[in-house]
Amino acid sequence: MMISQFRTVALIGKYNTVMPGLSVASSGEVLKGIARFLEAQGCEVVLEQQTAESTGITDYAVRDVTGIGEHCDLGLVVGGDGTMLGIGRQLARHGVPLIGINQGRLGFITDIPLDDYASTLAPMLRGEFTEDHRSLMHARVMREGVCVYDALAMNDVVVNRGATSGMVELRVEVDGHFVASQRADGLIMASPTGSTAYSLSAGGPLLHPAIPGWVLVPIAPHTLSNRPIVLADASEVAIELVAGRDASANFDMQSLASLQHGDRILVKRSQHHVRFLHPLGWSYFDTLRKKLHWNEGGA
């Protein structure tokens, strides 16, 4: 038996749906195989509650997210980036580090291929890893001075027009200073982690995770001179809905609040961050090159 630096490891699978290309039974077998591997490394395995319910696995202790945060030394997430976003926000306040195993294509934040997990994880469990901290955004929807919605986001906060309506008009302030009133299909406020998501497809720049900043990216702006802007993440940004029907605010595209005229979305840096662990030698640029299919030539 190998000796792991992590005594108790939580195994967290893809919620609600099975892994791509696998049946429920096969998904369960994948997780069981990983659990047996962890035990062989000297780890006590705990299954996250929703994972246990969706797979029917009964061989291990089960804990909810709070229990994992209080009792586990590591979270091992098997799924895609969406799965990691969901659990990362919930575990950030507990400081539990996370490792991502991606079933399918390489992810930006779940970067260990399922086929290679054993050879990659073994040294990581012995303490051979690189740690990577990602900031969170804390967003509140204020209506007549009262907070009606409160959420964390790792990727982005997005204000969108309704599916069948025209542009929205938004007033943007940074630290109480008026920046601009803009008409557009919406506005994306992304972290460095989220700069490779919706923000990128809307024409925003890539931000290295070490940059303490955010990017504001308009979606199909009425005025072409309305360009993305990078801000310090120490700022508080206010986005007010001035006009537009059926608008909404999305947080990592996993939770949503309907907006009324006059609503203000206040966004500031959360006091919590997510801890990712990567294999030794991991590089953010390697991930970009593989995921975005950049030219891999050179010395």
Which residues have a catalytic role annotated?
A: 81
Apex 274 CA angle, 34 and 129, nearest 5: 55
Other CB atoms closer than 10 Å to residue 246's CB: what's the count?
13
Q: Which residue from 18, 83, 71 is spatially nearest to 45, judged by alpha carbons?
A: 71
> Do the beta carbons of residue 121 and residue 146 sit within 8 Å?
no
Backbone angles phi, psi at 160, to 5 degrees: -120, 150
Query: From CA 27, how far away is CA 30, in angstroms rounded?
Result: 5
**What are the residue ranges of helices labelled H in the chain?**
24-40, 49-55, 65-71, 81-91, 117-125, 198-201, 284-291
